[in-house]
Structure 1
Amino acid sequence: MPPPATEPSLRVLVLGAGSWGTALAAAASRRAPTTLWARDAGQAALMRETGNNARYLPGVALPDALSITADLDAAFEDAHRDGAHVLIILGVPVAGLAATCRDVAARLKRRGATQTHIVWTCKGFESDTARLPHEIAQDALAALYPPGAKGAPPPIGVLSGPSFAREVAQGLPVALTVASHNAATCELTIRALHGAAVRVYAGTDVVGVEVGGALKNVIAVACGVADGLALGTNARAALITRGLAEMARFGVALGAQAETFSGLTGLGDLVLTATGDLSRNRRVGLEIGAGRPLADILASGITAEGVRCARAALARAHRMDVDLPITEAVCAVLFDGVAAETAVSALLAREARYESSTDTAPAGLITPT
């Protein structure tokens, strides 16, 4: 009788040594050989020497098993040894996704790699084009995976969910979602990360996962503003609830599944980002609500994707005739010089309406004006 088949070995390569890339690399290294690539050679050397990422995750010890390098070619060579399945996790922001995907495509095409899967983790809309990450990635990876090619869907997808990098790096519990049209990509991502404190769910709604990840940051800025103005927890609950409706409305218009927004990458990520003390987007809102100018906040080193993508999201929504009142109010405060109090008053002054688009008016009810 032949011996039972064994699964091919798995190697993980994480590109980007920011807080989230480092946290995912730490988690993956507990389950498979993992290499973390840092663009800055000095940072990579310091991380190897000290065993932590002092720039982005100070005080958090990294697993001894994690390999760290600034040599991208060497990282690819190491990951593709022994005929292993390879999962590449792109831990770069939206602004760097296209360039990183092109680098990956060039190297994989030269190697003729056929068992390499790619997932990205960034959240937002591209500032100048208003594209979502999957649209950026598909275009940048077109040389590797031509559009319309027959066969299985490209081995690419998005990894997202309610997660603060510091807690993941510390080994605290987290639940994530990987969405891809390629079942093997989902399976490999689960194999790389699922276990112990990390739980990974799978799905196919790439658009829904990405819209939730992008707009929840904008809504979190709004919640921070309300908290900074001391408007109370009732106001925060209203913003979270109506923000969720805003996310779902926009997502469905873009082709997402409505159910996605009641899951981890919709409601779950929104609640975390709008209420958590580690949320950079909420922190920006708090500072604005306290009267601090946006330029001063950003100059202090706080970076928040909600600020970066709000205008692009609103521009795309306008082109599609989708109403995003909270996003519009956030943009007015961030970029148009509108006082936070004025923007809140404008939201409260909107005419009354039915909460759900499926509601119908009972006979005799006077429509508010």
Structure 2
Amino acid sequence: MIAVIGAGAFGTALAVSLARNGPVVLWARDKDHVKEMQATRQNARRLPEITLPQAVTVSTDLACLADADIVLVSVPAQKLRAFLKSHGSKLAGKPVVACCKGMERGTGLRPTQVIAEHVGDAVPAILTGPSFAQDIAKGLPTALTLACADEPMGEHLQARLSTPNIRLYRTTDVTGAELGGALKNVIAIACGVAIGAGLGESARAALMTRGFAELVKVAETYGANADTLAGLSGFGDLVLTCTSEQSRNYRFGQSIGAGETFDTGLTVEGAATAQALEEIARDAGLDLPITHVVTGLVRGELNVRDAMDKLLQRPLKEE
């Protein structure tokens, strides 16, 4: 049996898709939310209009993890450590697949590193790539990256987690896959700002291209394979997140660019990741101009005009 921790939109969508292969337990901490889902067979709060298959059991009881041979953890990156500190012992000895994208503020750690710290004998993996929850839940075709340093376990997870509409590609470059998924959210905010402020499609294309260069620079600094960043978890995810209003990071950037308020109840991983990356870049001596201005915009230290001027007035150089 497969267990999915976290009944947000993405966790619910994965549970719906994986139920085509067999029984799935979907865990949520909010008892009222769970009762709603049990009664209506829908997650109206996070993924409306999608019916939960009968193969999905919704529960607040983490005892269900005892029967799970694979655990997918779909909680926000900034809340992952708190969950694992409280419940990591229940995941001991199991393959634990992170289904979140980001870098932890204060430590700069990636999801699999946080899992390794808190789950004894865990085999950490990451599921990442260009995907929206609605598409997955509706059964639309999606291709994702499954990254696991343990190659035999990666092959096992690839076989178990592939579904009729989700095609998984496997890699052992966990670092590259995680960094691609985390950093593209920062660039998506920048692209949203450009469109929200009326700076045009050409500006977005430039930000995506130069943003990709920042992704590769950071990944190589951490010893990742640059080819991984050219795949689904890097370039593929970057394209999707920077061009669609389904992306919360992109919409968040749009709201900044347009001078509008944004729903504070929605998780925007790129905002926290930008600030975590800013700290890392400073310590490592990395020049990440787009990340720098996104951090300034998120903190309210820069306005859009100042951010644009900072990028356009940089010294001319070879590409």
Partner secondary structure for residue 236 of structure 2: helix
- 1:136-162: CA deviations, max 9, x gaps? 111112xx13xxxxxxxx522111010
> How far is 1:306 from its partner?
0.8
- 1:215-241: CA deviations, max 9, x gaps? 100100000000011111111111111
Which residue of structure 2 aligns with residue 64 of structure 1? 54
Equivalent of residue 50 in structure 1, options 32, 35, 40: 40
Which residue of structure 2 aligns with residue 98 of structure 1? 81
Tell me, yes or no, if the aligned pair for 1:88 and 1:117 is still in contact at 8 Å: yes
Are 2:108 and 1:126 aligned?
A: no
Equivalent of residue 23 in structure 1, options 4, 13, 17: 13
Counterparts of residues 1-369 of structure 1 (less than 5 Å): 11-73=1-63, 75-79=64-68, 86-109=69-92, 113=93, 116-141=94-119, 144-145=120-121, 155-292=123-260, 296-299=261-264, 301-355=265-319
- 1:38-65: CA deviations, max 9, x gaps? 1111111211111110110011122221
What is the CA–CA distance in structure 1 between the aligned matches of 2:161 and 2:126, rounded to whole Å? Answer: 14
What is the CA–CA distance in structure 2 between the aligned matches of 1:106 and 1:303, rounded to whole Å? Answer: 26
Tell me, yes or no, if the aligned pair for 2:47 and 2:134 is still in contact at 8 Å: yes
* Alpha carbons of structure 1 residues 334 and 77: separation in structure 2 relative to 1, 3 Å: closer
What is the CA–CA distance in structure 1 between the aligned matches of 2:30 and 2:300, rounded to whole Å? Answer: 36
Partner secondary structure for residue 167 of structure 2: strand
The TM-score normalised by the length of structure 1 is 0.83
Partner secondary structure for residue 13 of structure 1: strand
* Alpha carbons of structure 1 residues 286 and 132: separation in structure 2 relative to 1, 3 Å: same
Partner secondary structure for residue 297 of structure 1: coil
Tell me, yes or no, if the aligned pair for 2:71 and 2:91 is still in contact at 8 Å: no
Q: Greater Rg, structure 1 or structure 2?
A: 1
Q: Structure 1 stretches of 5 or more lacking a match?
A: 1-10, 80-85, 146-153, 356-369
What is the CA–CA distance in structure 1 between the aligned matches of 2:23 and 2:313, rounded to whole Å? Answer: 56
What is the CA–CA distance in structure 1 between the aligned matches of 2:65 and 2:298, rounded to whole Å? Answer: 41
What is the CA–CA distance in structure 1 between the aligned matches of 2:114 and 2:276, rounded to whole Å? Answer: 14
> How far is 1:321 from its partner?
0.8
* Alpha carbons of structure 1 residues 34 and 302: separation in structure 2 relative to 1, 3 Å: closer
Aligned-pair identity in percent equals: 42
What is the CA–CA distance in structure 1 between the aligned matches of 2:90 and 2:257, rounded to whole Å? Answer: 47
What is the CA–CA distance in structure 2 between the aligned matches of 1:95 and 1:209, rounded to whole Å? Answer: 18
More off after superposition, 331-340 vs 272-281: 331-340
Partner secondary structure for residue 127 of structure 1: coil
> How far is 1:12 from its partner?
0.5
Which residue of structure 2 aligns with residue 148 of structure 1? none
The TM-score normalised by the length of structure 2 is 0.96
Counterpart code for 1:287:
S
* Alpha carbons of structure 1 residues 232 and 14: separation in structure 2 relative to 1, 3 Å: same
Tell me, yes or no, if the aligned pair for 1:163 and 1:174 is still in contact at 8 Å: yes
